[in-house]
Amino acid sequence: MKNFSGKALFLDRDDINTDEIIPAKYLSEITKQALGPYLLEDIKLDGFMPRIDIQEKSVIITRTNFGCGSSREHAAWALEVNNINLVIAESFARIFRQNMFNCGMMAVELPAKTMDRIFRDFAGKETYLETNLEKNIFIITAKQDQLEVSFSISDFDRALVMSGGWVEYADSKY
Amino acid sequence: MGKTIAEKIFDAHHVDSPAEDIHVIRLDAVFCHEITTPMAINDLVSRNKDRVFDTDKIKAVIDHVTPAKDSKTAEQGKILRDWARRHNILDFFDIGRNGICHVLFPEKGFVRPGFTVIMGDSHTCTHGAFGAFAAGVGTTDLEVGILKGVCAFHYPSTIKINISGRMPQGVLAKDVILSVIGRIGVNGATNKVMEFTGSIVDAMTMESRMTLCNMAVEAGATSGICLPDITTVEYLWEFIINEYSDKKAALDDFSRFSSDSDSRYDQVIEHDVSRLEPLVTFGYKPDQVKPVTEMGTIKVDQVYIGSCTNGRIEDLRVAARELSGQKISDSVRGIVSPATPKIFGQAMEEGILKIFLDAGFCVTNPTCGACLGMSNGVLAQGEVCASTTNRNFNGRMGKGGMVHLVSPATAAATAIAGYITNSSLFKG
């Protein structure tokens, strides 16, 4: 199973699409590793400097409809090779969300109110997020501030995370 | 309680429900192209599972970058080509016979009402025009599709878009779908099927219905879908002539896949197009649309006519009507990519290519290229393109470039004027 805890990167925008996560010109790569340096290269977000701001981050926290647009699993892979296996958002585009779980990664939705609170209290601070998959909670910490947030994922999604992805799961079952 | 067409298709293809609301369904077609498939092939090889579930149900094409532009894209083509050969996949379309997947595969008769289709390409929703459930998926779903012929989805919840009224002259299917996306937003149909019905859809050609369904994903939808009717039968007739005694028999059979009048919808949207004008996008999201007449004077550097949205023969015909006897502006680079060899040939026979050439357009081979900024018309920093494609995302057609999505009629008029403007076909 992959790691789902670490420093958080806040992307305070709706509708971040997969062309922004990994531009199409890199789709001619045929290894996941090659995508690494280009993660979020074309994102439209004031003041964001991909190569600097992504460093050492393991969790992305963002707004609605993250991962819309192209079906490219390269978006999930570009995250994976940067050691980011968890994205928390108010909502996701269907294909991106499925791609994440299919790779044994997690895309977790939280209610708008909770997301607003997380952004209000933690965005802009050095924030650490710990995932507890047994209790289904995130523990979010920045210096003295701490917030515990419960989340839910379906049994199917959990099975994909536990088994390491959809290929192994499907091949053993169908 | 009745069922929607999408629910009926799911029921007919049910394999398993590994968790509440998750349905694993049997696939009738798995489509492959050279961008998202090679990683699936390599992964299958590395897992020692280099097999395919059914050679007849897998169709493959090299379409995104063709001819190959560099060593990397040549390698992607080679991986797909070698794989198709070693598994004896007969419906593999290489250079000279290749075209844009979502135009080529329908043209070959590969999609039928009631089918389930996946492809590692978000615009797979296009094939819903035939009354199929067709969904874009990532490479892992594609890989399992290739290996096992199954895919997992949530049981479909449907938004019905009832399109009615009187279509104004010069307003095209592209304007209709842009108006729907503008209305419901890029997140408006996420995890839903968009079912397009109503008198306007009934009167549409299959080509126009494909344009409509093509952009369902731009509202977040899993699949677009139209109900099969006599227009569907007519389009498919050459492929099914031996399966049915007559067209009525085919229509009766296809009608198994239609929505019941008492189906339950997530939402029903009445969409009257009587006052619709040709539209254009103005930002970086496909729901940022406004009438061309309200756009002001936006100069363009390039006009692109093509793609799985608007590279079909009726798109080229309408653009050619506007371009006939005209020259495009000196400040505009015009590029047209007929979407398949058949369309290219038709356009040649009908004199359409000559009209484009005489007007000053560059006619390219069938390919996706410019739409996603991979080849054949990439924009430079700060350049502006009026394009008949489907995405105006930041950097989509080239880093720092700006894309305005329009219909083929608007694109042609814009090429002549040098700025975004309505075609002479629109009298509004």
- At residue B104's C-alpha, the angle toward residues B202 and B410, to 5°, is 60
B147 touches A at CB < 8 Å = yes
> What span, in angstroms and rounded, lies between the C-alpha atoms of B186 and A92?
11
> What span, in angstroms and rounded, lies between the C-alpha atoms of B223 and B156?
9
Give the pairing of strands A86-89 and A57-62.
parallel
pLDDT number for residue B245: 98
Q: Considering CB atoms only, which of A24, A43, A95 is closest to B136? A: A95
Are B138 and A76 a contacting pair at CB < 8 A?
Answer: yes
pLDDT number for residue B171: 98
Min Cα–Cα distance to chain B from A130, Å: 27
B360 touches A at CB < 8 Å = no
A155 touches B at CB < 8 Å = yes
Are B393 and A20 a contacting pair at CB < 8 A?
Answer: yes
In terms of DSSP H, where are the helices of B47-152? Answer: 71-86, 101-107, 139-148
Min Cα–Cα distance to chain B from A104, Å: 11
pLDDT number for residue B19: 86
Contacts of B186 in chain A (CB under 8 A): 15, 65, 68
Reported ipTM: 0.95
Contacts of A24 in chain B (CB under 8 A): 372-374, 396
B141 touches A at CB < 8 Å = yes
Averaged over A147-160, what is the pLDDT?
A: 95
> What span, in angstroms and rounded, lies between the C-alpha atoms of B17 and B14?
8
Contacts of B144 in chain A (CB under 8 A): 166-167, 170-171
Contact B339, B306 (CB under 8 A): yes
Min Cα–Cα distance to chain A from B345, Å: 29
> Which phi and psi angles does B176 have, rounded to 5°?
-65, -50
Touching A: B residues 282-321, CB under 8 Å? 284-285
Q: For every one of its 428 residues, what pLDDT tens digit does chain B have, with 9 covering 90 and above? A: 899 999 999 999 999 999 888 999 999 999 999 999 999 999 999 999 999 999 999 999 999 999 999 999 999 999 999 999 999 999 999 999 999 999 999 999 999 999 999 999 999 999 999 999 999 999 999 999 999 999 999 999 999 999 999 999 999 999 999 999 999 999 999 999 999 999 999 999 999 999 999 999 999 999 999 999 999 999 999 999 999 999 999 999 999 999 999 999 999 999 999 999 999 999 999 999 999 999 999 999 999 999 999 999 999 999 999 999 999 999 999 999 999 999 999 999 999 999 999 999 999 999 999 999 999 999 999 999 999 999 999 999 999 999 999 999 999 999 999 999 999 999 87
User: How many other β-carbons are positioned within 10 Å of the β-carbon of residue B19?
Assistant: 14
Chain A nearest-CA residue for B118: A71
pLDDT in tens, B157-181: 999 999 999 999 999 999 999 999 9
Strand partners, B387: B304, B405
pLDDT number for residue B361: 98
Are A19 and B141 a contacting pair at CB < 8 A?
Answer: no
**Taking every pair of C-alpha atoms in chain B, what is the biggest distance, in angstroms?**
62
Contact A39, A21 (CB under 8 A): yes
Min Cα–Cα distance to chain A from B384, Å: 17
Are A27 and B138 a contacting pair at CB < 8 A?
Answer: no
Q: Considering CB atoms only, which of B73, B141, B284 is closest to A44? A: B284
> What span, in angstroms and rounded, lies between the C-alpha atoms of B390 and B218?
8
Contact B58, B93 (CB under 8 A): no
pLDDT in tens, A3-59: 999 999 999 999 999 999 999 999 999 999 999 999 999 999 999 999 899 999 999
Are B396 and A64 a contacting pair at CB < 8 A?
Answer: no
> What span, in angstroms and rounded, lies between the C-alpha atoms of B394 and B355?
32
> What span, in angstroms and rounded, lies between the C-alpha atoms of B334 and B412?
9
Q: Considering CB atoms only, which of A68, A91, A98 is closest to B141? A: A98
CATH fold for domain A6-173? Aconitase; domain 4 (3.20.19)
pLDDT in tens, B38-58: 999 999 999 999 999 999 999
- Which residue in the block uniquely carries the two structure tokens 């063709």? B66
> What span, in angstroms and rounded, lies between the C-alpha atoms of B96 and A51?
41
> What span, in angstroms and rounded, lies between the C-alpha atoms of B151 and B216?
20
Min Cα–Cα distance to chain B from A113, Å: 18
Contact B108, B91 (CB under 8 A): yes
Structure tokens at B157: 């919840």
Chain A nearest-CA residue for B15: A174
Which residue segments constitute the domains of chain B, with CATH numbers given?
5-153 (3.30.499.10), 158-272 (3.40.1060.10), 281-417 (3.30.499.10)
Min Cα–Cα distance to chain B from A64, Å: 8
Contact B76, B38 (CB under 8 A): yes
pLDDT number for residue B1: 87
- Give the three-class secondary structure for A7: strand
* Strand extents, DSSP E, A19-85: 57-62
Contact B196, B111 (CB under 8 A): no
- In terms of Cα–Cα distance, which of B137, B26, B44, B141 is closest to B83? B44
Q: For residue A171, name the pLDDT band (cuts at 50, 70, 90).
A: confident
Give the pairing of strands A6-11 and A128-132.
antiparallel
pLDDT in tens, A70-110: 999 999 999 999 999 999 999 999 999 999 999 999 999 99
Domain boundaries, chain A: 6-173
Are B220 and A29 a contacting pair at CB < 8 A?
Answer: no
Touching B: A residues 47-76, CB under 8 Å? 64-65, 68-73, 76
User: How many other β-carbons are positioned within 10 Å of the β-carbon of residue A69?
Assistant: 28
| DSSP assignment string, B7-47 | HHHHHHTEEEEEETTEEEEE-SEEEEETTTHHHHHHHHHHT
Min Cα–Cα distance to chain B from A101, Å: 10
A88: amino acid identity, one letter: I
Are B79 and A30 a contacting pair at CB < 8 A?
Answer: yes
> How far from chain centre, in Å, is Cα B53?
26
Average pLDDT, chain B: 97
Q: Considering CB atoms only, which of B36, B47, B395 is closest to A19? A: B395
Contacts of B121 in chain A (CB under 8 A): 71
> What span, in angstroms and rounded, lies between the C-alpha atoms of A63 and A15?
8
Are A30 and B186 a contacting pair at CB < 8 A?
Answer: no
DSSP category for residue B154: E
Q: Considering CB atoms only, which of A15, A99, A170 is closest to B285? A: A15
| DSSP assignment string, B63-78 | -SS-S--SHHHHHHHH
